[in-house]
Structure 1
Amino acid sequence: MSQTVPKWRRRKDDRPAEIISAAIDIFAEKGFAAAKLDDVAKRAGIAKGTLYRYFETKDDMFRAVVQQAIAASLEETETGAAALQGSISDLVHMLLKRAANRMGDRRFPAIARMVIAESRTFPDLAVIWHDQLVSRMLGLVADLIAKAQARGEVKSGDPKLYAFSILGPMVSAVLFAEVLGGTSAELPDIDRLAAQHAETVLHGLLMSPAKRKRTP
């Protein structure tokens, strides 16, 4: 017979996730400098003293936001890439589609813009963003490219530069929409961009069938 977890215990276990969700909203709305722990506590529906039991500083909270709410999606991508036994073409389509889905959450580009705008004043923001998100994503794509080169699917070249070429237009489109969304009529459709860019970049990446290595 299963035991029912008391509501107070469920509430306590859920609090870190609730605080992080509230912190994402506050950071996206106000930026890092203007965000207050009081605002996060109020949005999460808890006392400020309760918040300090989980996060001592605003830096700690931002690190948790990146690790648990943003970079956590990378684990799904990494798992999907490892499980997909297909060509680099399949992988690129999958990666860009997942990126479009993630970037469709308007809080993600808002926080990216916040990091860019405030990283000079708060350099730790850039370090956290780089180590937990950017470096991991570039490393994942570069590793997939290197393996495809070893199989004879992809042309010679620096795998990390190829990774920048694949991911760059998606990041640019999201920041374009975030910065100019209220003034520009040229906002790209992220899903359509992902699909079209996948075809475009693969046209430049892939070796012609006649030049591909034959695998035993």
Structure 2
Amino acid sequence: MTTAKTPRPARAGRPTKRQSERIAAEIVARARELFIAQGFAATTMEQVIAACGIGKDTLYRRFATKEELFAAVTQKALERTEAWFEAVAAECPERPLDRVRHLARWFLDANLDPELLALKREAFIEAMRARPLVGADPFTPKLAEAIRAAAAAGELAAPDTDFVADQLIAALVLGPSNAALMGDDTLADPAARDAWFDRAWRLFVEGAAPGRG
């Protein structure tokens, strides 16, 4: 007579690719919350482990350092920003100069977005410590393309479109963005931002109009 063997508990295997991707996404999401709430320097890998409810090895197999983890957070933010930009670009008016205005307004909104501001602030602080944590800006070249089209249509005097794109961003974005980084919330109100942008845009266009330079 044979006796039935008690089945052994199934051993937990390595996570599937999909499970691993979900774990990584959860780590990045929790780390993003911590980096935004308390900054890069104050956030520790141990805090991320606790927030995710995972083991130490689970984190370090995916992100060997805090810098790698922050880079993943900023990469995810960049992907969301790119999707936002593409949605805005898809709704651009047909007239070339109106397209430039539409995209320039997006630059202002993106640079005053609270989450992007927080990540930008932390990246700037770490860059000042000789540890740059973000890559090149992928959006300014697209604005330059729109300026090039407006110049070709005779709506802007823009012999150097890259230079004009930089100046447009400087005129319409950098001031408010830098002020917001320092805690100024004057343009957090949409109506105030509309009014400011309209004034700045008129000044820029009048200075860049054909035959004025």
TM-score when scaled to structure 2?
A: 0.71
- Provide the secondary structure at the position in 2 that maps to 1:119: helix
Q: Is the 8 A contact 2:168 2:204 kept in 1?
A: no
Alignment correspondent of 2:85: 77
Match of 2:138 in 1: 136
Q: Structure 2 residue aligned with 1:86, among 94, 99, 123?
A: 94
Distance 1:33 1:174 in 2: 22
Give the equivalent residue in structure 2 for 1:201: 201
Task: Supply the AA of the counterpart residue of 2:187.
Answer: P
Instruction: Give the unaligned 5+ runs of structure 1.
Output: 1-7, 212-216
Partner of residue 20 from structure 1, selected from 8, 28, 34? 28
- Identity %, equivalent residues: 24
Report which of the two has the higher share of helix: 1
Kept in 2, the 8 Å contact 1:155–1:205? The answer is: no
- C-alpha distance in 1 between matches for 2:98 and 2:30: 36
CA distance in 2, matches of 1:33, 1:149: 45
1:145 offset after TM fit, Å?
0.9
Correspondence for 1:145:
147
Does residue 1:63 correspond to 2:66, yes or no?
Answer: no
The farther-off stretch of 170-179 and 143-152 is: 170-179
Aligned to 2:4: none
Specify the SS of the correspondent of 1:33. coil
- TM-score, normalization: structure 1? 0.70
Of 172, 176, 181, the match for 1:173: 176
Bigger Rg, structure 1 or 2: 2
Runs of 5+ consecutive residues of structure 2 not aligned to the other structure: 1-14
C-alpha RMSD over aligned residues: 3.3
Asked if 2 retains the 8 angstrom alpha-carbon contact of 1:25 and 1:107, the reply is: no
Measure the CA separation in 1 of the matches of 2:198 and 2:100: 6
